[in-house]
Amino acid sequence: MLEASLIGKALDFGSRECRFEPCVSKSLRYNSNAFLINHINFVISSRKRWCFCRFTKKIKKNLFLFKELGILNSYFIYPSHSIKTFVKIAPFFYKNSTFFKGIRLISTPSKLFLIKLSALNIIKKSLGSTVLLLSTSRGLITHIEALKHGIGGIALFLIS
């Protein structure tokens, strides 16, 4: 009986009555890297072949690098005449599974994790097959390329 009353109140408290959802979604800024990672992880966990995601210039480099690393099989940018442009993301599946478990976001706009070259040398053995993506002066590169170039950077993603 209690569950029914809570469900009834939840249905009455819709977005049309109090305008909660439309106002919040327009006023909040979002992290485009986290938005992309969440979409990729959702597609992988639900075993879907593709999904649509909002496209921004910030995620264009990430899409290219994910395609280069084999995380994404393909992506297609749908140009739009309106304000929002979408990208269709298709992760790489082999026999209904991916070669990685998921992607984790490390740095956010409010908290950046800087990794020096000396720290990369220390953690390279513990990473194993995990790939750490860094934002460096040479662009978005993996931790292996950063070690080759002898530079550190901001840790963005961890692909395990």
Strand order in the sheet with 72-78: 51-55, 85-91, 72-78
Residue 120 has a pLDDT of 95
Residues of the chain with CATH 3.30.1370.30: 29-98
Cβ distance 73 to 90 under 8 Å?
yes
What's the CATH number of domain 106-160, 3.30.450.20, 3.40.50.620, 1.10.3720.10, 3.30.1490.10?
3.30.1490.10
Residue 23 has a pLDDT of 45
Cβ distance 143 to 149 under 8 Å?
no
Residues of the chain with CATH 3.30.1490.10: 106-160
Residue 28 has a pLDDT of 47
Tens digits of per-residue pLDDT, 45-81?
A: 998 899 998 898 889 999 999 999 999 999 999 987 7
Query: What parts of the chain have a pLDDT lower than 50?
Result: 1-28
Fold assignment, 29-98: Ribosomal Protein S8; Chain: A, domain 1 (3.30.1370)
The three state secondary structure string of 63-116 is HHHHHHHCCEEEEEEECCCCCCEEEEEEECCECCECCCCCEEECCCCCCCCEEC
